[in-house]
Amino acid sequence: MIAIGCDHAGVEMKKAVIEALSEKGFELRDMGTDGEPCDYPNMAKAVCELVVSGECEKGILICGTGIGMSIAANKIKGIRAALCSDSFSTRYTRLHNDANVMCMGARTLGPGLACELAEIFLTTGFEGGRHQRRIDLITDIENNN
């Protein structure tokens, strides 16, 4: 299960991503919004809590630029959120950083690219190995600050 949420700027992109990923067989849990004005930190928290609890494997967050969602999501212990805007960075945020939440900007990406990036994010695994040591260092920082 994949948790997905957006603020009012990302509603149309979220709909496109849900449709594309559903057609590929992914199960999604839509945490809103459906158009009503909202505060992006609340949406980030709702999605990330599902990821941290294990109820959802990964999360997708969409706001105007994706930056606000990234900042808010990364405040939640256990979340490694990455702003994704190209296929290379999206692939490597999974391969090397084991990101568990992707953030995208509805005002900076078209829906076609957003759907492509979401699929890359969800189908790319973590390489582990030398990268696990770095993830452990990030977790140590998170736990001690």
Tokens of 111: 């829906």
Tokens of 5: 């949420």
Residue 93 and residue 79 in contact, taking contact as beta carbons nearer than 8 Å: no
Assess whether 8 carries a catalytic annotation: no
Assess whether 56 carries a catalytic annotation: no
DSSP secondary structure of 98-134: --SEEEEETTTS-HHHHHHHHHHHHHPPP--THHHHH
Express each pLDDT in 3-56 by its tens digit.
Answer: 999 999 999 999 999 999 999 999 999 999 999 999 999 999 999 999 999 999
- CATH number for the domain spanning 16: value is 3.40.1400.10
Express each pLDDT in 46-104 by its tens digit.
Answer: 999 999 999 999 999 999 999 999 999 999 999 999 999 999 999 999 999 999 999 99
Set 6, 63, 103, 115: catalytic member: 63
Structural domain range at position 97? 2-144
Q: How many residues does the chain have?
A: 145
Confidence category of residue 106, pLDDT binned at 50, 70, 90: very high
**pLDDT value of position 13:** 98
Q: Count how many domains the chain has.
A: 1
**Which one-letter amino acid corresponds to residue 84?**
C
